[in-house]
Structures are given as structure tokens and as C-alpha cells.
């Protein structure tokens, strides 16, 4: 029961009104850089410091342990978030490359069709030319 009462006191001191987001300057955490100190915050510092000083060592150790846990988890979260951002960028890059590849495939197909059409036209031209040359030669032979 003693520890649970002390833990309850620690929670009350940290989560009391107007102190919910406050973290004292003498305890470094990830969130401390986000706070702006004001005269009200300074008064809150004193009140919170007094309450923290009234806690026994085991409660302070417990509080310190959980603060350290929060810092570690926050760092882990940031690391995971950076990895997720990299993955998101890689997926976006992969999608754009895939789209570009599909466009290139479509262009290649179109060029292959055009090349095939040109080959057919060349064959037709050669056949027509041979026919015309044959007709010319037959026509010339008839007049000789």
C-alpha cells in the first residue's frame, strides 16, 4: 500500500491542474524543449519542485525510471517514424518509376507498330516497283 500511495502522490503532483504538460528544468526530457517559460510556469516550477522534494527516494527513482522509459520510447518512435518516412519515399519513388516504365513500354509498342507499318510499306513499294519495271521492260520489248 505504501508504494501505491506514493505513486498516486507522484501522479497527482505531475497531473495536477495547470501542471499537466509541465516538466521541471532540472529533469531533461524530449518534451522540455517544446515548453516556453512564463511567470506562471516559474511559479509552477517552484510548486512542482517542492512536491518532488517531498517524495521519498524510491518514488523519485520510479519517476526517474519512467521518465527515462518515456525518453527511450520517444526516441524509438522517432527512429521508427524516420524509417517509415524513408519507406514511404521509396514506395513513392518506386511508383513513379513504375509509371515511367509503363509509359516507356507504351512508347516502345507504338514505335514497333510504326516500324512494322514502314516495313510493310517498303515491301509494297518494292513489289510495285518491280511490277512497274517489268511492265516497262515488256512495253519496251514490244516496240523494239
CA separation, residue 119 to residues 69, 107, 113, 114, 123 (Å): 73, 18, 10, 9, 6
Closest C-alpha among 48, 43, 23 to residue 33: 23
Does the pLDDT value for residue 38 go beyond 60? no
Q: What is the model's pLDDT at position 94?
A: 94
Question: Could you give the 3-state DSSP secondary structure of residue 121?
Answer: helix
Q: What average pLDDT score do residues 66-88 get?
A: 97
Least confident range from 6-10, 51-55, 62-66, 121-125: namely 6-10
Q: Note the pLDDT of residue 49.
A: 80
The pTM of the full predicted model, rounded to 2 decimals, is 0.43
Q: Average pLDDT of 29-47? A: 60
Task: Using a pLDDT cut of 90, give the percent of the chain over it.
Answer: 49
pLDDT above 50 for 1: no
Interval 78-93 mean pLDDT: 96
* Residue of higher predicted confidence among 125 and 3: 125
Whether the pLDDT of residue 117 is over 60: the answer is: yes
Amino acid at each position: 500500500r505504501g508504494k501505491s500511495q506514493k505513486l498516486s502522490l507522484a501522479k497527482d503532483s505531475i497531473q495536477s491542474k495547470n501542471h499537466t504538460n509541465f516538466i521541471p528544468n532540472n529533469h531533461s526530457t524530449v518534451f522540455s524543449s517544446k515548453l516556453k517559460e512564463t511567470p506562471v510556469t516559474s511559479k509552477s516550477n517552484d510548486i512542482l519542485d517542492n512536491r518532488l522534494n517531498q517524495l521519498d527516494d524510491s518514488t523519485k527513482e520510479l519517476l526517474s525510471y519512467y521518465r527515462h522509459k518515456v525518453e527511450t520510447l520517444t526516441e524509438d518512435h522517432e527512429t521508427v517514424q524516420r524509417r517509415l518516412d524513408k519507406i514511404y519515399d521509396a514506395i513513392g519513388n518506386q511508383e513513379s518509376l513504375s509509371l515511367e516504365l509503363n509509359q516507356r513500354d507504351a512508347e516502345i509498342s507504338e514505335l514497333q507498330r510504326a516500324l512494322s507499318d514502314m516495313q510493310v510499306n517498303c515491301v509494297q513499294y518494292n513489289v510495285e516497283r518491280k511490277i512497274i519495271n517489268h511492265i516497262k521492260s515488256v512495253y519496251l520489248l514490244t516496240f523494239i
